[in-house]
Structure 1
Amino acid sequence: MEKIQELVSKGKILLEDGKFDDALGFFEQALLLNQDDPDLWNYKGITLRSLGRYEEAMDCFNKSLKIDPRDRHSS
């Protein structure tokens, strides 16, 4: 769990700095460790949307909603 949190923290910093490709790598690494976390799918979706990869982003948001249909952040 701690490893995932480190990856997400680094990814969020890179996302905020506009380093979307780098951020995506960290979120993808975190997802390799836990594919059942809707927040990870949201972060990946936000990053892909920032890169203009809208269909892939929508897939991520849909995966997040499938895991947790009550997740308002995915909509």
Structure 2
Amino acid sequence: MVDQNPEEYYLEGVLQYDAGNYTESIDLFEKAIQLDPEESKYWLMKGKALYNLERYEEAVDCYNYVINVIEDEYNKDVWAAKADALRYIEGKEVEAEIAEARAKLEHHHHHH
């Protein structure tokens, strides 16, 4: 299909993810990413699927892409997911705690 919509790949990926088909979901999230690499949620879900396959380093790479490349560093869901993945990686306890703290941080961009 020409001109495929990344959201369609994403939504199909989420369905596969929810069904426990993590490998299939990763393929779909990657297709969405190829079409729109700046969309944080595609990377977040790809990371979560990798996490469920116990591919923790690769999951962290996805979250770091959101934080460092897309510069969506106020994305609490990404920090929380990163903390979860780091807990399973030897020697990353301190980074996990930092990520967890960032997930709970209130950032001051909103007006009261």
TM-score, normalised to structure 1's length? 0.93
Correspondences of 1:1-75 after superposition (within 5 Å): 3-66=5-68, 67=70, 68-75=72-79
Structure 1, unaligned stretches of length 5 or more? Answer: none
How many matched pairs?
A: 75
For the pair shown, the structure with the greater C-alpha radius of gyration is 2
* Higher relative contact order, structure no. (Cα contacts within 8 Å, ≥ 6 residues apart): 1
* In structure 1, C-alpha distance between the alignment counterparts of 2:75 and 2:55, rounded to whole Å: 22
For the aligned residues, what is the CA RMSD? 1.4
TM-score, normalised to structure 2's length? 0.64
| Percent of paired sites with the same residue | 29
* In structure 2, C-alpha distance between the alignment counterparts of 1:23 and 1:40, rounded to whole Å: 11
* Bigger helix share: 1
Structure 2, unaligned stretches of length 5 or more? Answer: 80-112
